[in-house]
Amino acid sequence: MRDFLPAEKAKRERVLDVITSTYRAHGFDEIETPVMEDSDRLHAGLGGDNEKLAFGVMKRGLTRDDLQQAQQPLDLVDLGLRFDLTVPLARFYATHRAHLPAVFRSIQVAPVWRAERPQKGRYRQFVQCDIDIIGEAGISAEAELLSATLATVDALGLEGATVRVNDRRLLTGMLHTLGFAPADFDSVLITVDKLDKVGHEGVLAELRDKGFDADALEAFFRRPTTMEWNPFGERAIRAALPADPDPEVVAALVALGDAVGVERLLFDPFLVRGMGYYTGPIFELAHPSVDYSLGGGGRYDGMIGRFLGSDVPATGFSLGFERLVELVDVVAEQGEAVALVHDRDAPLADLITVQRGLIAQGLRVRLVARPKNLKPLLDALTDEGFTAFATFPDLELRPLG
């Protein structure tokens, strides 16, 4: 968890403003959910390995007997800090469905918490920027998500971003063709999802350690990569898979490419996305300047039904804000900022009156007591983004920098 100095905070707010304003321009509406959810909801088996990283909040009024009788830590917990924004959104929709449109397009920009092992790029508190579409079963929802996401990264100056695409149904079809039993699909996919961390050999070794026959998958790994089968489309998808894939799924992905632009998409047969709730198309955002993902998402049609009692189609995309903010070069829009330099014995009421008058003119105004040496103060104000200063009581505005 981190502190942010004023310049860092200003940059973060500017990036967030670009993200949210672009999403709003694409027809999405902002919502807000609590930082805590019921522990049972956070540990319902929908969050994959992230459930293991959830911070729990102990029950109030626990007794010594409660502590001694607990079989596991979760017995002492009734709430938890959210580890993502998708589980809270599902609960939100189930609660407020009657007040929402038939097809609901949401924006959530908020902090989440995970008990990560501290290391570079891994934070225990970080911001997620999510857009979701609930109530639309067709591929048009995914097209809207990807169009809005790519427009957002373009607006941040990261032109050239692409989206890796797969579908959970194609993944399970591939595993079936390669000889894995349906009961083993989840375990196999958890291992395959580590491909970018441990490589082909690491994935194969882990599968063998789990007792699986990985020979068929090893042979498949030796094929050319999907990047050699551009452009995105039916031929690329079929060439990347070991057998005839589901034609309806392929047709939907082809339609997605036609809508978003085939030059912005890449089909990746090994893209998994570790969350257990994904049921259809899945994506990850890539940029040529870095070798890691800048965001991802997918369809999770089964999640809301867990809370509502009836299935509702849903799909979403989450931008990796902490990674994005380190890459982009934006200037915080603060307007003209003025420092009002005054002697320490200047009448306070007069200073406040002058400050109010300048603020009414649309200026940002800071009161600053005059030091013995004015130059270091003026240099510091320039570094902080101030554009002018005035001395009290003459009030003549003089440019800085």
pLDDT number for residue 258: 92
**What does each C-alpha distance from 98 to 94, 101, 102, 124, 389 come to in angstroms?**
9, 8, 9, 35, 54
Q: What is the pLDDT along the chain (401 residues), one digit of tens a residue?
A: 889 988 889 889 999 999 999 999 999 999 999 999 888 888 776 666 678 888 888 888 878 887 777 777 877 778 888 988 988 998 899 999 999 999 999 999 999 999 888 777 678 899 999 999 999 999 999 999 999 999 999 999 998 899 999 999 998 888 888 888 888 887 888 888 787 778 788 888 888 888 887 777 777 666 655 455 557 888 888 888 877 889 999 999 999 999 999 999 999 888 888 666 788 999 999 999 888 889 999 999 988 888 788 889 999 999 999 999 989 887 555 668 899 999 999 999 999 999 999 888 888 899 999 998 999 999 998 888 888 999 998 888 899 87
Give the sign of the dihedral formed by CA 60, CA 63, CA 67, CA 71: negative
Strand intervals (E) in 34-93: 36-38, 56-58, 77-81
pLDDT number for residue 107: 97
pLDDT number for residue 297: 93
Closest alpha carbon to 25 in 151, 167, 192: 151
pLDDT number for residue 193: 79
Phi and psi torsions of 157, nearest 5°: 90, 15
The enclosing H or E element of 112 equals: strand 104-113
Residue ranges per structural domain of the chain: 1-161+287-333, 166-262, 337-399
Question: Do 1 and 123 contact (CB within 8 A), yes or no?
Answer: yes
Question: Do 273 and 284 contact (CB within 8 A), yes or no?
Answer: yes
Tell me the C-alpha distance between 163 and 198, whole Å: 22
Strand intervals (E) in 209-301: 265-267, 281-286, 295-299
296-326 core/surface letters (b: 16 or more CB in 10 A; e: else): bbbbbbbbbebbeeeebbbbbbbbbbbbbbe
Q: Which two tokens stand for residue 202?
A: 């690491």
User: Could you tell me the pTM of the whole model?
Assistant: 0.84
pLDDT number for residue 66: 73
pLDDT number for residue 150: 94
The neighbouring-strand residues paired with 298 are 282, 316
Tell me the C-alpha distance between 86 and 91, whole Å: 9
ω before 399 within 30° of 0 (cis)? Answer: no
CATH architecture of 1-161+287-333: 2-Layer Sandwich (3.30)
pLDDT number for residue 282: 95
The amino acid sitting at 120 is K
